[in-house]
Structure 1
């Protein structure tokens, strides 16, 4: 494992040279900013590209420690999220479920150092405005939900962990190519008698091989009991990834992966098999295809641990928790929502009343 110097450098708090307050990353920029006096400090831009780590040595030894370090973690006993806060502990609550986190329970743990980070492009206030606009547009939402949405403290920025995998793919396949043709048939009888075109398929044997580079297969690296980031939100433009610098984490919560690298690799292999299947069908051509056998091989496999930005808001209504998410880059929003029984009830009563009045008016 790397020396403790590496570990300490990644968690070093950066202080304002003017007032001594903690500097925080300013979303959408390459700067750290002091919220008290406005001082800014440029984040040094790395000239190196992302380091793709060779996968096999990690899987064989389950973590040659050459790219690992220690990080201070807080574990949520309620939902299972492992969280690191790159700032002073001001609000010790889980970003997913709002349950209190106890600083005395903090512990150090090894993690595979992130190879890249996608910085936040919007700040907390902007994300909160997106939440408020979304909440106001919800039909039959409880009044308490709208009141809860007024508190910006319920909206927290989170860097979510993902694995990405690259590989050279080669696959031999055996299948069939289907070509459509049409025959004329007579259906019905008497006046209903008519001719129709019926589509049929001629099948021809097909075999061959496909190959290519599979780039940045994105696999989620964390799992909680609840509070899962919706698929709609979990889409980022990975072209904007930056070489990892802990400065981008300042002021945000960072979640540690709970899905091991080997399990992430299994999911990536399934994705690669689906890609091989698509490539084989395209290679077969025709109007439709059948794949009876495909033998796939992956070589030159590499991986990265990356951090991706999302804002999370948690709200409890009648002892049930609801989560709302905003993509910290694209601003896409999605989430769960409660319904107000009384609003729906009175709406139904109003509709029934209107129907009765209309019926009496027409009857007159």
Structure 2
């Protein structure tokens, strides 16, 4: 029966020595026990990950082969939908730190990830990056430093993305611009005759076609009211992708996509048109280019649902939510920060006192 079906992404494995839960060890292909040190290898598929044909999914066909049910917790505050692979004593949303109620978990269908980029740095290393970043911040509240240091406020999170591949062919018509210079005579402010070089552009009508393979167009697959991952850290080396195995998720939170495949595909098509325009300009050559008409055709389109790693620290300060993000592959950090009113107040007050003393002593 469907409700008795064993869901592979929800399996938790116990240590054969002490019974504790095995968790993924960042930077490796093993799950390990944090208590006795026992390790077990993750069985990675040596055949690589599979690209799925796009249009059967867009037409709501073929989804049964690469989909399954998974228990999801929905945050009522910020809208994030999360699957927790670890039995936390208390569950909080990784984005806004609001409590999540385990009893509210619902079974939902999702397209199975085709690949995952496993965490390359562990939580201790992420804390050191947080600490170094916080120390460089001026006028930061003391609560910020506590948030950066307390492990309960930092969670490893796998973000969902769509990637799209396609053969691209584009035809275009436009103009090629080549610069040339002419000597111009003019009079300066004193009425004296002067000469100068003036750049002009010679435009020539052109047309042609370009083609090539568009590989791994990356499109964000989740969007919340707050807590979006900054573009500054949203860069991963996709060459490190591994075929999906649930062992890589052990001990981490996984966010479900909230941007459907169809919407993600539209974003990918827009990116493909930008790529086509760049290829057309390169094909036109010259010093400047004008594209009057361009027709883009994509074929052999495939996609993957992939998971990419970040560490997230979230807390509330004076009723406002703040997030800090670390790329789980390369350690890049970015975040929003509050300012301490009292620290700024006393700094200004101290500055005024110093200025006052200088003025008094100078008299």
Give me the TM-score of the superposition, normalised by structure 2: 0.95
Match of 1:206 in 2: 206
Q: Does structure 1 conserve the Cα–Cα contact (< 8 Å) formed by 2:126 and 2:311?
A: yes
Alpha-carbon deviation of 1:153? 1.2
SS in 2 for 1:190: coil
Alpha-carbon deviation of 1:135? 0.9
Match of 1:300 in 2: 300
Alpha-carbon deviation of 1:71? 0.6
Give the distance between the partners of 1:339 and 1:233, measured in 2 at CA. 23
After TM superposition, the runs of 4+ consecutive aligned structure 1 residues lying more than 6 A away are 2-6
Match of 1:325 in 2: 325
Q: Does structure 2 conserve the Cα–Cα contact (< 8 Å) formed by 1:7 and 1:71?
A: no
Alpha-carbon deviation of 1:103? 0.8
Match of 2:43 in 1: 44
SS in 1 for 2:59: helix
The correspondence of residues 1-364 of structure 1 with structure 2, limited to 5 A, is 7-61=6-60, 64-185=63-184, 186-190=186-190, 194-359=194-359, 364=363
Alpha-carbon deviation of 1:108? 0.6
Q: Does structure 2 conserve the Cα–Cα contact (< 8 Å) formed by 1:187 and 1:196?
A: no
Residues 1:196 and 1:91: Cα distance change in structure 2 (over 3 Å) = farther
Unmatched segments (≥5 aa) in structure 2: none
Considering only aligned residues, what root-mean-square deviation do their CA atoms show, in Å?
A: 1.8
Give the distance between the partners of 1:348 and 1:334, measured in 2 at CA. 28
Alpha-carbon deviation of 1:267? 0.1
Alpha-carbon deviation of 1:189? 3.4
Give the distance between the partners of 2:303 and 2:329, measured in 1 at CA. 23
Alpha-carbon deviation of 1:302? 0.1
SS in 2 for 1:78: coil
Alpha-carbon deviation of 1:44? 1.6
Unmatched segments (≥5 aa) in structure 1: none
Give the distance between the partners of 1:195 and 1:359, measured in 2 at CA. 57
Q: How many residues align?
A: 362
Give me the TM-score of the superposition, normalised by structure 1: 0.95
Moved more, 260-269 or 335-344: 335-344
Q: Does structure 2 conserve the Cα–Cα contact (< 8 Å) formed by 1:6 and 1:69?
A: no
Give the distance between the partners of 1:27 and 1:96, measured in 2 at CA. 21
Q: Does structure 2 conserve the Cα–Cα contact (< 8 Å) formed by 1:11 and 1:71?
A: yes
Alpha-carbon deviation of 1:199? 1.4
Q: Does structure 2 conserve the Cα–Cα contact (< 8 Å) formed by 1:7 and 1:69?
A: no
SS in 1 for 2:175: strand
Residues 1:203 and 1:78: Cα distance change in structure 2 (over 3 Å) = same
Alpha-carbon deviation of 1:90? 2.6
SS in 1 for 2:347: helix
Alpha-carbon deviation of 1:340? 1.4
Moved more, 213-222 or 79-88: 79-88
Q: Does structure 1 conserve the Cα–Cα contact (< 8 Å) formed by 2:7 and 2:68?
A: no
Alpha-carbon deviation of 1:50? 1.1
Give the distance between the partners of 1:53 and 1:6, measured in 2 at CA. 24
Moved more, 42-51 or 15-24: 42-51
